[in-house]
Chain A
Amino acid sequence: MDLSTINPVLLIASLMVAATPLLLAAIGELVVEKAGVLNLGVEGMMIIGAICGFAIAVETTNPYAGLLAAMVGGAVLSLLFAFLTQVALANQVASGLALTLFGLGLSALLGQNYVGIKPPAMSKLDLPILSDLPVVGPILFSHDPVLYIGIALTAATWAMLKYTRVGLVLRAVGENHEAAHALGYHVVRVRVLAILFGGACAGLGGAYISLIRVPQWTEGMTAGIGWIALALVVFASWKPWRVLLGAYLFGGINVLQLNLQAAGIAVPVEYLAMSPYIITILVLVIMSTDKSRAPASLGRIFHASQ
């Protein structure tokens, strides 16, 4: 074992990359949950985003077209969830599971001809001077654009929830849908839009994995990141900046365990590979004592009876 092969600067730079899909999916889910909807289909929307993005990027040889397609793909799948839960008033837990099972199957079907192909590469930020700075350069100024979009999205979501009318209405709908309805807000409309936003974010996060992080297509490649994103929202107590923090924490653990595997540490690979999931459970346990921040209408079915 040789721990000196682990370079801390590269570790930080790569943890930011590892954290980005998680961050994107979790920010999307945060908005959905703030509107009072629990969408357990994040994993399914991510994997659909991963294959849609990959396929379109390969076909058009344009990675940006791929990212756009991934967002559309995730959003279209989430529309199914929106229909089930907001129109047909189906149980949200069951519908979310259905979305994940369906998404995993559909992505495998769509992706059968794309195994083993290399997608077009995405250019990285390359600023003169800044990107060449030692330490700061690789960490802050030489990433792909989506990584910065993720951070910007976190800031935008935070500001939207805290300062805007849209954010206020969204939170109101999530807190008490009867009251929001009585005041004349369109509960279902707000929720459907939130679900679509969550789907687009998850799709983008999925495409980030298949186009940038890995980059290639394999079946089931999201490997539970969508579920960890769900846990992350709980961990973050429904606060955007804490989602960012949590994503970097999980990204760090993941990158570290991969580095340790590569460095040949004397722990079997399987035990290192299960560590992110076990740590997720531990974090859930620690955070579950504080439930006060959860939107009060989370997961409840709304039907305007009169």
Chain B
Amino acid sequence: MTTPLLSLQGLTKAYPGVVANDAVSFDIQEGEVHALLGENGAGKSTLVKMIYGLVKPDSGTMLWRGTEFAPSEPRQARATGVAMVFQHFSLFDALDVAENVALGMENPPPMRDLAQRIRDVSETYGLPLDPGRTVGDLSAGERQRVEIIRCLLQDPKLLIMDEPTSVLTPQEVEILFQTLRKLKSEGTSILYISHKLEEIRALCDHATILRLGKNVGSCTPATTSARDMAEMMVGSTLQTPTRSAAPDGSTLLKVTNLSAQSGKAFGTALKEISFAVKSGEILGLGGVAGNGQDELLAALSGELLTNADTIQIRGEAVGNLGPSQRRGIGVLAAPEERLGHAAAPNMSLIENALLTGAIRQGLTRNGFVNWRTTKAFAEDIITQFDVRTPGSDRAARALSGGNLQKFVIGREVLQAPDVLVVNQPTWGVDAAAAAAIRQSLMNLAAKGAAIVVISQDLDELMEISDRFGALNEGRLSAIRPTTGLTIEDIGLMMGGAHDMEAPGPVAEEATA
């Protein structure tokens, strides 16, 4: 047998209270696409950070083509031939594409040469990109191209991709796969991290499965069923949420020609969005991240004010009302960012219960807070939504992502809203908690609420929503019933492979 490109042997890394990786071992061969599969919190990120030199293992060794490999910092890993495309946090909005690329290189050529090399590489791999543009103005797909090109210019031997498709439309995913296959044919190994089983079956040669920090098995994805892989990943059979009644109510929420500027730098403006949601109905809104999701939630929650008439609740104009007034008439929301937006990290769960519960739960009188009833409300959320915490006096930041998300969703659901808007309700949440959250949303709809679920997880939207629409550059596609939608339909609604109509065989193949 040949020497593997990279061999991991017994890597262990512990953080206070949690063992992120427990004696993980596997090999990545030359020129193979190796999948690292696991749920959120399974330890995938920690593992790749060790390979990339961002985190030092407590014990265990790595061998690079048979010799010891222990990068103390990313620079060293890059020099060896490791490149990484991050899921978040590695681009600089205010800098241009060439500067961003230069920052990821050891010895970047002068800027003018670099711009030319960026153009060359982007042509070779069918990834159109203008080196002079400011990164903050790019779409999510284009931003990913910046990262990929940054890696390719280094001629990596091992390319690590961390959940690369979560920001792409289905058509863009296909183009990405073409690029990766081309790289593989040129002899580059790829470590592909994902929890999406179909992607892994389509792309990867081998898969290693992590669960709770341990290597629980490996398989050849092409010959293993998605169901078997899912069971290895999750460890038990999951309860799939069940959808009961079909909606047949009156219109509760009506949005007409909603246009609004984003409140933040490099945000997306909303453009003429119109839709309506009936009592008992769940409307799913998909789309690649950064296409107006945050802004739409803000406009519906009252954080972003608009003309009164653009948003109507039971025919009543509310677009100019703030968050508190909207809560008063039954419109509640749960934003995507748990820490810092939906909850205050350093405040206790009791205080966080007051954050949105003050009005509907009657937690204040003449402005004075009744801490006793507030505590009771917090504890009610904790019991009913199975939030695992030692007590309601714990700070929000002390909870795991899944538990805090259950708290945040529970806080809104328990207030019996007429209209509920949630953004990424199960992002970064383990499968069991995600299933519970989805079920609670469906139960709420069954009781007659109108629900808008904004999510980048298409499977989730297909599972729970009655109708589907997609956000693309601040516009909303036509809304269609979920039943009967194909993945191609959805991709086209999300904008297809927009701005990818570059000439060349790769693009043609992809759209064929």
A contacts B directly in the complex (CB < 8 Å)? Answer: yes
Chain A positions near chain B (C-beta within 8 angstroms): 165, 168-169, 171-172, 175-176, 178-185, 291-292, 295-296, 306
B55 partner, pick from A176, A296, A306, beta carbons under 8 A: A306
Indicate if the CB atoms of A306 and B265 lie closer than 8 Å. no
Pick the contact of B103 from A168, A292, A296, A306 — CB < 8 Å? A168
Contact indicator B93/A175 (Cβ below 8 Å)? yes
Chain B residues lying within 8 Å of A182, measured Cβ to Cβ, are 54, 74, 86, 89-90
Chain A residues in 8 Å Cβ range of B15: 306
CB distance from B224 to the nearest CB of A (A): 32
Greatest chain B CB density within 10 A among A172, A178, A180 is at: A172
- Mostly, the B contact residues are loop
Whether A179 and B53, one on each chain, are in contact in the complex, defined by CB atoms closer than 8 angstroms, is no
Please judge, given known A-B contacts A168-B102, A306-B46, whether A184 and B95 are in contact too, CB under 8 Å: no
- A179 lies within 8 A of B95 (CB): no
* Residues in chain A near residue B53, CB distance under 8 A: 184
Interface residues of B in 74-125 (CB under 8 A from A): 74-75, 78, 86, 89-95, 99, 102-104, 108
Complex: how many Å from CA A298 to CA B86?
A: 23
- Tell me if A296 and B94 are in contact (CB < 8 A): yes
Contacting pair A183 B104 (CB below 8 A): yes
By a CB distance below 8 angstroms, the chain B residues around A291 are 265
Q: Per DSSP, are chain A's interface residues mostly helix, strand or loop, or mixed? A: helix
Residues of chain B contacted by A178 (CB below 8 angstroms):
89
Closest A residue to B110 using CB positions:
A163
Residues of A within 8 A of B86 (CB): 182
Number of A-B contacts (CB under 8 A): 57
Contacting A at CB under 8 A, from B42-88, are: 46, 49, 53-55, 73-75, 78, 86
14 residue pairs A–B, Cβ–Cβ below 8 Å: A168-B95, A168-B99, A169-B103, A171-B94, A172-B92, A175-B93, A175-B94, A179-B91, A182-B86, A183-B103, A184-B74, A184-B75, A185-B103, A306-B15
* A-contact bits for B439-464, CB 8 A (1 contact / 0 none): 00000000000000000000000000
Q: Which of A176, A178, A179 has the most CB of B within 10 A?
A: A179
Expressed in whole angstroms, the minimum distance between the Cβ of B16 and any Cβ of chain A is: 11
Known: A184-B54, A292-B265, A306-B46. A179 touches B75 (CB 8 A): no
- Complex CA gap A45/B112 in Å reads 40
How far apart are A102's CB and chain B's nearest CB, in angstroms?
A: 28
Complex: A168 Cα to B104 Cα, angstroms:
11
* Complex interface: chain A residues within 8 A of B74 (CB): 182-184
Residue of B nearest to A291 (CB): B265
Q: A296 contacts which chain B residues (CB < 8 A)? A: 93-94, 265
Contacts of A175 in B (CB 8 A): 92-95
Smallest beta-carbon distance A298→chain B, Å? 11
The 5 closest A-B CB pairs, nearest first, are A184-B74, A178-B89, A175-B92, A179-B90, A182-B90
Contact between chains at A176 and B92 (CB < 8 Å): yes
Q: Which of A168, A169, A176, A181 contacts B91 (CB 8 A)?
A: A176
Q: Which of A171, A181, A183, A185 contacts B95 (CB 8 A)?
A: A171
Given A168-B99, A168-B103, A172-B103, the answer on whether A306 and B94 have CB atoms closer than 8 Å is: no
